[in-house]
Amino acid sequence: MKRPSRLIDTHQHVWWHFRDDRGLIADMDDHGIEYAWLLTWEIPTFEDHPNYHRVLDPRHMRADGTHAGIPLSAILDARERHPKRFVAGYCPHPALGDAPSLLESAAKIHGVKVCGEWKFRIPFDDPRGIELFRKAGELKMPVVLHLDVPWRKQEGKMGYDPNWYGGTVANLDRALAACPETIFIGHAPGFWREISADAEERSEAYPKGPVTGPGRIYDLFDRHPHLYADLSAGSARTALERDPAHAAAFLARYADRLLFARDYYGQDLWRFLETVDLPTDAAEKICFRNAERLVNGPMGTQIPA
């Protein structure tokens, strides 16, 4: 893939993994990224896991020793300092308060344009989630979903993983069917492992090795035109790198619905993409055109730091 004239990062966070907003901007500048979608990750006390604390901002630790994650205030602070570089995202927890109203208020008061990151330990098709997704559709906000499956095969039987988010592809399928007016963007290990037909037989969160046949995300893409996916984090890159020939065909087939994204720093994703032979038009769609078709970009003028 030849590097397009522009890059938009559609999945990013701020004040995490030991970098503040200036550190993120410096990284974006180093890698030629024009702007990024900044996403929240709300963590209620009952979903907190201490393994994440070291990479999150200590300012958001609670008195009870749990962490609040990446709240909307962090996103708005960063955007205020760098309004040309960030699009604000926000996703309230569907089980707490009136999530659809909170999302609408964030859109109307703060100019939030993306519903994300949805990373919660309830199934996608929970009625409270469906109501939030429908409100996002009404507001023309794409929803960025994190999927980590509750069960993976371990020693010949299905083993439970307590750090699951969203449920399974079946839960996602039902949510997609219930919300045809909402744009969904799939992400994370539980989503990308389904690129291969052997997903249920694999114990790893990040399976490697050749793709054995079209996985269940092919079916989801083909039946639900409002499903997109971002290429962020190790999950998408690993799914593509495991079978480069398959990756080229997959990227070309779904170029209209894939989004360049990192969810971290560095050029690992781009280093892989530049090895893939894709037409210029497909590369531009993935790297910036699809993003701008879904969200109309940042607002305002740069405020000097």
The pLDDT tens digits of the residues spanning 4-24 come to: 999 999 999 999 999 999 999
Q: Say yes or no to pLDDT of 304 above 50.
A: no
The pLDDT tens digits of the residues spanning 250-281 come to: 999 999 999 999 999 999 999 999 999 999 99
Mark out the alpha helices in the chain (DSSP H runs).
21-30, 72-81, 99-110, 127-138, 169-178, 189-192, 216-223, 233-241, 244-253, 268-273, 280-284, 290-294
The pLDDT tens digits of the residues spanning 34-83 come to: 999 999 999 999 999 999 999 999 999 999 999 999 999 999 999 999 99
Give the model's pLDDT for residue 156.
Answer: 81
Range in 90-99, 247-256, 295-304 the model is least confident about:
295-304
Average pLDDT, the chain: 96
Question: What CATH code is assigned to 8-294?
Answer: 3.20.20.140
Q: Say yes or no to pLDDT of 107 above 70.
A: yes
Report domain extents, the chain.
Answer: 8-294
DSSP string, 58-100: GGGB-TTS-B-EE-HHHHHHHHHH-TTTEEEB----TTSS-HH
Give the model's pLDDT for residue 135.
Answer: 98
DSSP string, 97-119: S-HHHHHHHHHHHH---BEEEE-
Prediction pTM value: 0.96
Give the model's pLDDT for residue 301.
Answer: 38
